[in-house]
Amino acid sequence: MIEIKKYICIGCPVGCPLQLEHEKDRIREVTGNECNRGAKYARQEFTDPRRSISTTVQISGALRQRLPVKVSGAIHKDQILEAARKIHELKVMAPVEIGQVLFKDFLGEKGIDVVACRSMKRIAEAMTACRTKKHRRSKAGKPE
């Protein structure tokens, strides 16, 4: 049976509406694209949609309370939420260097690590003590 999947191309601001005709796993045709990028994108999205992900983790001993991190390679689209949850369990201590691997072969996939997106220096204990105590993740948004 021939089925059609619809995508919007993200290659440029035109955003061509793409239609991908397929028979189970076999791609028959991509239509609606004004340039080659559209066809390539639809094929990629159909066979193996991947996303890069970045988030933050808790850091202590630094000027900021959160350290930005990213996953070094694109992961499968369906794994995004699971990945984010796993990364959030990480806790790191300053100092951290940019590019430092915080979690190797994350998700069991070789070469896909969680890395720090910036360096953070260690600052004096006295300065962080009051910050970390008071500034736990707040429960804001709960109407009293």
Partner 1 sequence: MLGRVEKKYGVVVVGGGPAGMGAALGARDCGEEKVLILDREPEAGGILLQCIHSGFGMHYFREELTGPEYAERFLQKVIDHDIDVLPGSYVSGVAVDSGGSKKVRIMSESHGLITVETKSVVLAMGCRERTRGAVRIPGTRPSGILTAGLAQKFVNLKGYLPGKRIAILGSGDIGLIMARRLTLEGCRVEGVFELMPYSNGLTRNVVQCLEDFDIPLHLSTTVAYVHGRDRIEKITVAPVNPDLKPDMSRAWDVPCDTLLISVGLIPENELTQNLGIGLDVVTGGPLVSSTLETSMPGMFACGNVLHVHDLVDYVTREAMLAGRFAGEWSKGVRRPKDNIRLVPGDNVRYCVPHTLSPEREHTIHLRCKAAMKPCKIRVGSLMEKKLRFVFPAEMIMFKIKPDLLDKFHGDTLRIDILPLEKGERVD
- Minimum Å gap between C-beta 130 and partner 1 is 14
56 lies in the binding site for partner 1 (CB under 8 A): yes
Which candidate, 44, 32, 99, places its Cα nearest to that of 67?
Answer: 99
Span interacting with partner 1, options 23-31, 104-112, 130-138, rule CB under 8 A: 130-138
Binding-residue total with partner 1 (CB under 8 A): 40
107 lies in the binding site for partner 1 (CB under 8 A): no
Q: Let me know: does 30 contact 42? Beta carbons within 8 Å.
A: yes
Of 31 and 79, nearer to partner 1 (C-beta) is 79
Mask for 5-44, x = binds partner 1 (CB under 8 A)? --xxxx-xxxx------------------x----------
Classify residue 34 as exposed, middle or buried by CB count within 10 Å of its CB (0-12, 13-18, 19+). exposed
Report residue 23 as tokens: 């028979």
84 lies in the binding site for partner 1 (CB under 8 A): yes
Report the distance separating Cα 31 and Cα 34, nearest Å. 9
Report residue 25 as tokens: 């796993």
Of 1 and 144, nearer to partner 1 (C-beta) is 144
Report residue 134 as tokens: 């008071």
